[in-house]
């Protein structure tokens, strides 16, 4: 069920400054991608073994805006792990008492794949994103 780490997401109060920091380090940085259905703009920083997702709020009602209100300098927002079948994993976790955020139905994420978020209170205070990916 539990697959490889897809990315670590970091909420940033200044997207341009964050992009500049990673480019200063010589990292490959994607173009910003607006995801209105999630209320964010995302940028991916490619590392050798995973990605870092920079999250910047799209509007005042963005969940990332609320996160940044509590964490003015930004910070780690979530960890994303790959799963082969998001519906099977979701149903198994719900049976085990783990709450799914939102309406419980997957949404399409930044990579064009279905994603779900697990309630951090059920996961030791950590927000987990699960992303369904096709086998390589």
What does the pLDDT average to over 17-36? 96
Residue 127 reports pLDDT greater than 80: yes
**46 confidence band (pLDDT: 50, 70, 90):** very high
Determine which one of 53, 82, 129, 131 is catalytic: 129
Domains of the chain and any CATH numbers: 5-132 (3.10.180.10)
Confidence grade of residue 136 (pLDDT, cut at 50, 70, 90): low
Rounded to whole angstroms, how far apart are CA atoms 80 and 104? 17
Residue 37 is a catalytic residue:
no
d(CA 80, CA 116): 10
Higher-pLDDT residue of 111 and 90 is: 90
């Amino acid at each position: 069920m539990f697959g490889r780490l897809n990315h670590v997401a970091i909420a940033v109060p200044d997207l341009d400054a964050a992009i500049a920091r990673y480019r200063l380090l010589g990292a490959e940085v994607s173009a910003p991608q607006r995801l209105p259905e999630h209320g964010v703009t995302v940028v991916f920083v490619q590392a050798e073994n995973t990605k870092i997702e920079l999250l910047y709020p799209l509007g005042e009602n963005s969940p990332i805006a609320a996160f940044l209100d509590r964490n003015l300098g930004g910070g780690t927002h979530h960890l994303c792990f790959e799963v082969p079948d998001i519906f099977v994993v979701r149903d198994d976790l719900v049976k085990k008492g783990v709450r799914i955020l939102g309406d419980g139905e997957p949404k399409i994420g930044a990579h064009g794949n279905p994603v779900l978020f697990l309630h951090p209170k059920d996961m030791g205070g950590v927000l987990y994103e699960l992303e369904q990916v096709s086998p390589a």
